[in-house]
Amino acid sequence: MPLAITGSAMRTSLGDTAETYQALLAGESGRQPLRYVAPEGVNVRYGYHVDATGPERPYRASAWLTECVTAAAREAGLDCARQRVVAIVGTGLRELRAVERWRADGQPADLGALHFGAAVRAALPGVEEVVTVSNACSASSHALALAADLIELDEADAVLACGADAMTESMLAMIGRVGDESSDAVRPFDADRRGVLLGDGAVAVVVQRAPETGAAVRLRGVGMSCDAYHETAPDPDGLRAAMTDAYRRAGLRPADVGLVLAHGTGTALNDPTEAGVLAGLFADAEPGPLVTGIKGAVGHTSGSAGLMSLLVAVEALRHGQVPPVVGLRTPIAEAAPLNLVVGEPVDTDARVAQVNAFGFGGVNAVCLVEVRRER
């Protein structure tokens, strides 16, 4: 069944979708000194914050999600009185920061707000059901896969696939333990990369059946795998399995793809593993797709990351310009076979993009999206 993305919105440290895309083209970064948490306590000095000023707001991720759902539903023209509308929110951390503040500072916590049901219903009161899934850093892409299933099974007329995450002290502390304290930015696929830094944000897309006249943005397929290979280390076979599943569902070949939005975390293990798998996937697809990634500009936004990359891919295909990988100066050897976009935007006439999202524990998702460019 042909599926379409009929509405979308996101919020990153660089702004909304259009602002984020324009900043990416300009090579800008949303990195700032770490806020709300003492850097010396977590061994992390920088983050990619949405709220750049003012005191820490409670339930920040929920607030951003409400904004994104409102905008995406409006663009799609959703009408809960006439349509069966379901929402699936993918997240890595939920509203864990509220629990931290309750434990450390005695700030009252609303346990019901740890689930994003209230945040979605604040924007779309008539939504039938809101499900929150915590599938690590591929969570929003898993939400997209479930959205496609619900439409294809005729369980819903429209599904909001979403992601929402705000930085937490406990996650920052974990990053600080496994990273390099001298890391001052995310540098995907760079020989001098020193680890990942976290970013805030939220994102929402509306999935519906594609109209008979065709769709401006068509969701071709979402592939998934869960290899459980290691707590944090990626498994090449697990990444390949998700890609193979995506292409099978989409009825496409690697040669059909002109752009890849890589997971690209700037870590010691992800980047060479992902680069090697991509090089193998496109070995017979000369000249191969352009490859870029967004975490150097917006940080690792945890469960929101997959759908954020998807929306950047849509913008790049729609406008015919692929932004560079912010922070990338000297590519790693494993990425030599790839057409990485470095330094400046690159023009493209591609119509199909692959979007990677990989999570701890081998929870992987790969999306294929097609865009009909406006003439």
Q: Which residues are catalytic?
A: 137, 263, 300
CA distance 374 to 317: 10
Rg for the chain, CA atoms, rounded: 19
CA distance 6 to 321: 21
Query: Which H or E run includes 212?
Result: none
CA distance 181 to 59: 28
Query: Which H or E run includes 2?
Result: none
Tokens of 28: 């800008």
- β-bridge pairing 290-292 and 46-47: unpaired
> Which residues, including other chains, have CB under 8 Å from residue 325's CB and lie 6 or more apart?
188, 189, 264, 292, 293, 296, 340, 341, 342
- Residue 279 carries which side chain, given as an amino acid letter? A
Phi/psi at 4 (5° precision): -130, 150
Q: What burial letters (b/e) apply to 56-80, b meaning 16+ CB within 10 Å?
A: eebbbbbbbbbbbbbbbbebbebee
Count, in order, helices (H) and strands (E) of the chain.
11, 15
> Which residues, including other chains, have CB under 8 Å from residue 331's CB and lie 6 or more apart?
189, 190, 191, 338, 340, 342
- Residue 177 carries which side chain, given as an amino acid letter? R
Tokens of 202: 């939220």
- Residue 21 carries which side chain, given as an amino acid letter? Y
Contact between 1 and 215 (Cβ < 8 Å): no
Helices (H), 196-335: 236-250, 270-281, 295-298, 305-319
29: nearest Cα among 343, 274, 291, 297: 297
